[in-house]
A and B are shown apart, each in its own frame.
Chain A
Amino acid sequence: MIGAALYFAFACVSLSILLNVYRLLSGPGRGDRVLALDTMVINSIALIILFGIGNETTLYFEIALLLAMVGFVSTVAYCKFILRGDIVE
């Protein structure tokens, strides 16, 4: 039962990443592309967590935590750059 749910979640998250790639490539504005990248990072975290559940190991949580931090910092840096033309003023 858990295996089937795991496959369903894998399929959903993979489809989500494909939809984000579509928005990343076609997004009319820069804000859309930043938003698509941010969502892709969050979906990648979900994918890593699901992989950890599938392998029954807690090894991947550090990767997910690091990815969450790097994703947040990069989103804020992109937005600062769009807003001010500079990151560290």
Chain B
Amino acid sequence: MNLVVEILVTLLLVLGGGFALVGSWGLTRLPSLMTRLHGPTKATTLGVGSCLIASAVYLPWATGSFTAHEFLITLFLFITAPVSAHMIAKAHIHRQGWRLDPNPADNVVEGLPPTGGSTGWATFWCPPGRRWMGSSLVEGDCVEPPGGSGASGEGVERE
């Protein structure tokens, strides 16, 4: 039993440390922000999750008392990591404008692809006949970014 717990905790610790390192290495090495988002949101979260599971296996065996804190932290991290990644990506799209630059080294800049629906990209799109005034929609002509709003259909109906 002791050997099984030791091997399990050792494997989880090595796995956790390795994944955390891979995630941060990706954050350092990848070329643009949209690719850099992949490392921390997936690999690092998995690494921290492995460390927490190692702690959840090891501490009840070593101290004899069980707590659910590890699972609480794991659950919280796994819920919040996609939300914060989405917020960072949205802020980045809004700031970079109507350009998509996956790799700054090769000088290829393209527009955002069409969304495939009746509405455009969320941070750029405004309904026909309306425009953004601060954070609220007012009457007026929509000022679209160069290249259109990304909606695929022409003549979008507004209820």
Contact = CB atoms under 8 A, between A and B. Distances in A.
B151 interface: no
A43 B44 contact: yes
A86 to B, nearest CB: 8
A6 B73 CA distance: 20
B91 A22 contact: no
B118 interface: no
Given A1-B6, A16-B23, A65-B69, A29 B17 contact: no
Interface stretch (B51-59, B108-116, B141-149): B51-59
28 contacts: A1-B6, A4-B10, A9-B13, A9-B17, A9-B20, A15-B24, A16-B20, A16-B25, A29-B92, A31-B33, A34-B91, A36-B27, A38-B88, A39-B39, A39-B44, A42-B40, A45-B48, A46-B20, A46-B47, A49-B55, A49-B70, A52-B59, A53-B51, A58-B59, A68-B80, A72-B80, A79-B87, A83-B91
